[in-house]
Amino acid sequence: MKRAVVNIGWLLLDKFMRLSIGLLITMWLAQYLGPTQFGQMNFVTSVVAIFAVFATLGLKGVVVKELVNQPTTTFNVLGSAFLLKVLGALVTYALLIAFSFFVLPSTVETKWFIAIVGVSILFKTSEVVSFYFEAKVESKYVVWVENCAFVIASGIKLGLLWFEAPLIAFFIAIVVEALLMAVALLFIYQRQVSSLMNWQATKRQMSSLLSQSWPLVISSAAWVVYTRVDQVMLGTMLDAQAVGLYAAAVRLTEIANIVPMIITFSMVPLIMPLRADNKDLYQTKFQQVYDLAVGLMILGAVLTLFIATDVVGILYGDAYAASASVLKIHVWTCVFIAMATVSGKYLLNEGLQKITMQRHLFGVCLNIPMNYVAIPLYGIEGAAGTSLISLAISNYLFDAFSSCTRLCFIQKSKSLLIVGGLETLWKRLRT
């Protein structure tokens, strides 16, 4: 258990470091580029991100499980997963090019930017190395390698900002970062574990991996579309400036979302043993995780209503003043993302991860048509509002209509009303 907690700590440290440094660079980059070019950049990366998730093939969880359960087939699993990811990346990149040049309504310059950034998809194939280290509960190696690549890439971006480079240079920097990470991951495996030439791919293993991973890739794809499609739709229905103003606010809420992630990934492994020994105590502890994660997000959202204008002005400058109204709305999505983070772990423990996929798909089906109505009427505030409404319905109200998730709905409701926290306090006072 101690080893697992330390491993999770490394992963969370990696996430926190990336988001923190990323925010600092984003602030400078947003001020340097201005809302229009910053919006163009976020539009391009959002389109690529939506396609990139399909290249993963949802293999991460499946490969890690296979490596843990069948350690004698490690080389076979890694080789098969690597070949699948290579094929997936090539097909995905081809589809991305076809979509951007023949379907997407955008400028020729934007299409070429998408083609450039899309190359980074091809380098994601090396992620199979991180799967291995995660299975061995040695994620510190991946954190070291990826953060070294991230720091180098961040230095490159800072240099580009200092020398006032054109927008295309920042897109190339994204590809360079992906390349550095790929080379570093393969190098650390070769140095710490074994030769890459030992990897073997078989049709049987590839078929087995794909048969297990398809629900996960659908779930992952639905979530990425869910979180990125609003920026793509703003870019096609309004303009790049709207995307820039919207993206500036969303970046801040992304930072906030690390809080429930840290809480969940830190606390859930500690209460897992209770599931078999004391189910009532197990549920009580999960309620406490909800109370803490959701409660902090509610507190942060209320505080943001009063400081959003000042925060946006300090971080981004006067050119992004309109982002404050988006932030005041979008920050409330953190409450429901906290719910999704905690309940996602609960459903995984109960073997109900397909419900997570259903939630995400339902959310996408709500979000896209709502955006088509709200964006022309209310602009960037409309996009923020539809994100909030669709998240509230799919990650909260959705649970009320199934017996499998009704307990999640009750626990989420208590965390919203602070009932769970009051119950815990009353029990502590009585004892």
What stretches of 56-107 show up as alpha helix (H) in DSSP? 59-69, 74-102
Which of 83, 91, 88, 77 shows the shortest CA–CA distance to 135?
77
> Is residue 431 predicted with pLDDT exceeding 60?
no
Q: Which two tokens stand for residue 295?
A: 């409660």
**Contact indicator for 153, 173 with CB cutoff of 8 Å:** yes
| Tens of pLDDT, residues 7-46 | 556 556 666 667 777 778 888 999 999 999 999 999 999 9
d(Cα 168, Cα 117) in Å, to the nearest integer? 10
d(Cα 275, Cα 345) in Å, to the nearest integer? 13
Residues 38-60, mean pLDDT to the nearest whole number: 89
Residues 142-162, mean pLDDT to the nearest whole number: 84
Which of 323, 231, 238, 234 shows the shortest CA–CA distance to 42?
231
**Contact indicator for 11, 143 with CB cutoff of 8 Å:** yes
d(Cα 243, Cα 42) in Å, to the nearest integer? 7
| Residues contacting residue 427 through CB under 8 Å, at least 6 positions apart | none
Q: Count the Cβ atoms, other than its own, within 10 Å of residue 353.
A: 15
Work out the percent of the chain whose per-residue pLDDT is above 70. Answer: 92
Rounded to two decimals, what is the model's pTM? 0.84
What does residue 57 show for φ and ψ, rounded to 5 degrees? 60, 15
Highest mean pLDDT among 108-117, 121-130, 148-157, 415-424: 108-117
Q: Could you give the count of Cα atoms lying within 13 Å of 85 in the half-sphere of its Cβ? A: 24
Report the run of H or E that residue 195 belongs to, with start and end.
none
**Which pLDDT value is given to residue 312?**
93
Lowest mean pLDDT, pick from 242-251, 287-296, 321-330, 345-354: 345-354
Mean pLDDT of the chain: 85
Which of 190, 269, 227, 238 shows the shortest CA–CA distance to 372?
238
**Which pLDDT value is given to residue 40?**
94
Q: Count the Cβ atoms, other than its own, within 10 Å of residue 223.
A: 20
**Which pLDDT value is given to residue 310?**
93
**Which pLDDT value is given to residue 112?**
94
The angle subtended at Cα 266 by Cα 292 and Cα 134, nearest 5°, is: 150
**Which pLDDT value is given to residue 191?**
80
**Which pLDDT value is given to residue 423?**
59
Highest mean pLDDT among 62-71, 192-201, 339-348: 339-348
| Tens of pLDDT, residues 86-128 | 999 999 999 999 999 988 888 899 999 999 999 999 998 888 8
Q: Could you give the count of Cα atoms lying within 13 Å of 217 in the half-sphere of its Cβ? A: 18
Query: In the block, which residue shows the tokens 């209320």?
Result: 302
> Is residue 377 predicted with pLDDT exceeding 80?
yes
> Is residue 5 predicted with pLDDT exceeding 60?
no
> Is residue 266 predicted with pLDDT exceeding 80?
no
**Contact indicator for 402, 422 with CB cutoff of 8 Å:** no
**Contact indicator for 168, 109 with CB cutoff of 8 Å:** no
Residues 263-288, mean pLDDT to the nearest whole number: 78
**Which pLDDT value is given to residue 304?**
94
**Contact indicator for 82, 125 with CB cutoff of 8 Å:** yes
**Which pLDDT value is given to residue 263?**
79
pLDDT band at 429 (very low <50, low <70, confident <90, very high): low
Lowest mean pLDDT, pick from 24-33, 165-174, 392-401, 413-422: 413-422
**Contact indicator for 282, 271 with CB cutoff of 8 Å:** yes
pLDDT band at 355 (very low <50, low <70, confident <90, very high): confident
Domain layout of the chain by residue ranges: 1-201, 216-431
